[in-house]
Amino acid sequence: MSTIDNHNYLVSVSTEPFVITQFKHHNYLLFSLIIPTYKERENIQNLVIRLTQILDGYIPGEYELIIVDDDSPDRTWEVARMLMVDYPQLQVMRRQAERGLSSAVIRGWQIARGDILGVIDGDLQHPPQVILQMLDAMVKGADLAVGSRYVDGGGVSRWSILRRFLSRGAQILGLMILPWVLGIISDPMSGYFLVRRSCVAGVTFNPVGYKILLEVIARGNVGKIAEVGYVFCERKQGESKVTWKQYLDYIHHLLRLRLSTGNLGRFSQHMGFPIGRFFRFGLVGLSGVFVDMAVLYLLSDPTTLGLPLIRSKIIAGEIAILNNFLWNDAWTFADVAMQQKEWEQRLKRFIKFNLICLAGLVLNVVILNLVFNLILPNSYIANLIAITVATFWNFWVNIKLSWRVTQVK
Ligand code: GDD
Ligand code: MN
């Protein structure tokens, strides 16, 4: 699953699913702590020294530190590897094929040997000594021990009003979208926590963005949670990697977790129906309606081109189909499309999509007629029913034929 290259770096397999394996008893360790880093060359040595002092006094020989660096341009990985000489409990993963804080943490846990898995920032903003209280909580039976800025003993140092506002705003938004995850702890944004392996083993994670704790609570099987207060220190070296993109990632992450772990998600799993995909497919279809309308107007309206209606509609319909195809290929079925991205394969998908949509249109007209003439003489309601049926048809047949999930090269 992971290998060591000839410079002593751990290498993870980036195409591997984000699944952590069950505990293996033959190379037992009590505790594995992941340190994700990106451009932390000035911090990493101090952090390793501090953590080693603390952990050697508590669980000597029973822990490992794993730095997962995303090929930092400041060569943090190189500094980290040099430390391995003096700190044999340290391992370094240099990732070149993947990037991102959350996925770094999962990749680290995947190669970890410990029964308790943890994560700490690499910039010394998480005070290392707090780890002892968290370990203590785990030993006393917690499944998850979270460093929190919002319980006794916790806090932030010199945060601007804006940053406090953004942080709390993000939390409130999260509470609205995913109350059963964010509602059960005081600091769901924390990136400083320990979790028992048995609570996350076998689960397929989908780590996007920064907030790995949400992923762990939402998808893992966590029972008892302990919170330990800590003060989020100021950075002394380097700078934060948070940009506006992280806020967008965060919202995306919340929605994705909501769809896959909420009632709808459970329903979808139970029924074997890919509700997330269907939602995206429907949204793309809606965008097609607007494209169709706009093109129809541009082509047929007397004030614009004034082309005959039928001809305009055919062109508008085809452009809408192209629009839908491109979005579906890039978004709805991106994972499938990625594996078949030669242009012949794309063209083939496009032709199939076209034919299926055409058949969908025929189906649409037939159902509209049937419903209108036999069941309910209201053309709008009949049309709505026809559109719904045709959308399901389009979706299912396209999954089976155009973006075939099971297709092997
Ligand atoms: N491997 C890897 N890849 N590490 C990363 C990446 C990445 O793409 N981006 C950031 N890191 C590392 C940083 O080097 C640092 O060690 C840690 O992740 C946190 O990043 P910062 O950029 O310092 O984030 P922050 O100071 O705003 O911290 C916020 O996020 C933390 C992590 O979730 C706060 O919300 C903290 O409470 C939280 O712990
Ligand atoms: Mn930081």
Tell me the DSSP string of 241-259.
Answer: ---HHHHHHHHHHHHHHHH
Pair (150, 23) in one structural domain: yes
Q: Whose CA is nearest to atom 37 of ligand 1?
A: 190
Q: How many other CB atoms are there within 10 angstroms of residue 265's CB atom?
A: 17
pLDDT exceeding 90 applies to what percent of the chain? 65
Q: What residues does ligand 1 touch, defined as CB less than 6 Å away?
A: 36-38, 40, 68-70, 99-101, 104, 121-123, 125, 189-192, 210, 232, 240-242
Instruction: Return d(Cα 394, Cα 332) in angstroms, integer.
Output: 13
Same domain, 290 and 187: no
DSSP-assigned letter for residue 153:
T
- My answer on whether 264 and 291 are in the same domain is no
Separation CA 171–CA 352 (nearest Å): 44
Indicate whether 263 and 311 sit together in one domain: no
38 CA from centroid of ligand 2 (Å):
10
pLDDT of residue 406: 55
Contacts of 288 (CB under 8 A, 6+ apart): 320, 321, 323, 324
213-242 pLDDT per residue, tens: 999 999 999 999 999 999 999 888 888 887
DSSP bridge pairs for 193:
119, 146
Residue 408 has pLDDT above 50, yes or no: no
Q: Check whether residue 156 and residue 219 sit in a common domain.
A: yes
Are 249 and 281 contained in the same domain?
A: no
pLDDT at 245: 86
Ligand nearest to the Cα of 106, by number:
1
What is the SS3 assignment for 171-235?
A: HHHHHHHCHHHHCCCCCCCCCCEEEEHHHHECCEECCCCCCHHHHHHHHCCCCCEEEEECEECCC
Q: 179-216, pLDDT tens digit by residue?
A: 989 999 999 999 999 999 999 999 999 988 789 999 99
The closest residue, in CA terms, to atom 38 on ligand 1 is: 191
> Could you tell me the distance, in angstroms and rounded to a whole number, from the CA of residue 38 to the centre of ligand 1?
8
Q: Are residues 179 and 67 in the same domain?
A: yes
Q: For residue 407, what pLDDT is reported?
A: 43
Residue 115 lies in a domain: yes
Give percent helix, percent strand, percent coil of the chain, each to the nearest 5.
Answer: 55, 15, 35
Poorest-pLDDT segment among 3-7, 26-30, 250-254: 3-7
Instruction: Indicate whether 29 and 109 sit together in one domain.
Output: yes
* Domain shared by 339 and 192, yes or no: no
Confidence bin at 30 (pLDDT 50/70/90): very high
Please give the share of the chain, as a percent, with pLDDT higher than 70. Answer: 98
Chain-centroid distance, C-alpha 30: 28
User: If you average pLDDT over residues 338-362, what whole number do you get?
Assistant: 92
Atom of ligand 1 minimally distant from the CA of 235:
26
In-domain check, residue 409: no
Residue finishing a domain among 269, 292, 319? 269
Same structural domain for residues 359 and 210? no
The domain total for the chain is: 2
Q: Which ligand is nearest to the CA of 166?
A: 1
In this structure, which ligand is nearest to the CA of 95? Answer: 1
Note whether residue 408 is domain-resident: no
Among 33, 34, 37, 93, say which to mutate for ligand 1: greatest number of ligand atoms within 8 Å of CB.
Answer: 37
Co-location of 69 and 182 in the same domain: yes
- Ligand 1 centroid to Cα of residue 146, in Å, is 16
Ligand 1, from 43, 93, 106, 210: best to mutate by most atoms within 8 Å of Cβ? 210
Residue 311: C-alpha distances to residues 39, 290, 322 (Å): 58, 18, 17
CATH of the domain at 131: 3.90.550.10
Give the residue numbers spanning the domain of 319: 273-402
Q: Which residues, including other chains, have CB under 8 Å from residue 343's CB and lie 6 or more apart?
A: none
Residue 147 contacts residue 193 (beta carbons within 8 Å) = yes
Please, which residues have CB within 8 angstroms of residue 257's CB and are 6 or more apart in sequence? 178, 181, 214, 215, 218, 219
